[in-house]
Amino acid sequence: MTTQADEALALYETLRPHLADKPPEVVGAILSSLVAIWVARHRKKGDDALTKHVRDKVLKNHVAQVRKLILLNEPREGLP
């Protein structure tokens, strides 16, 4: 049985070669659109305040995770 983590890793490995040689501005635009789709799905119908709270928390956690992954990806990308 495939887990969500397995699916995420497979999709990551599929997309990575297409993004690896693109300028940061292009990758950033693509990622911004994908993150917006993801965050928009964190919605509590009929409760705008809770929706905002959940989305803020999701984004805060996302940024924290991205910060952890930066160091892991720098050497892999050949950055100084």
Over its length of 80 residues, how does the chain's per-residue pLDDT go in tens digits?
789 999 999 998 999 889 888 999 999 999 999 999 999 999 999 999 999 999 999 999 999 999 998 888 775 555 44
Position 70 scores a pLDDT of 87
pLDDT at residue number 74: 73
CA distance 36 to 20: 21
Domain positions in the chain are: 1-41, 43-80
Phi, psi of 46 (to 5 degrees): 80, 0
| Helix 48-77, helix 24-40: angle, nearest 10 | 150
Question: Residue 35 contacts by C-beta under 8 Å, 6 or more apart in sequence?
Answer: 62
**How far apart, in whole angstroms, are the C-alpha atoms of residue 76 and residue 71?**
9
Is 0.95 topped by the overall pTM? no
Listed in sequence order, the residues at least 6 apart from 62 whose beta carbon sits closer than 8 Å to its beta carbon are: 35
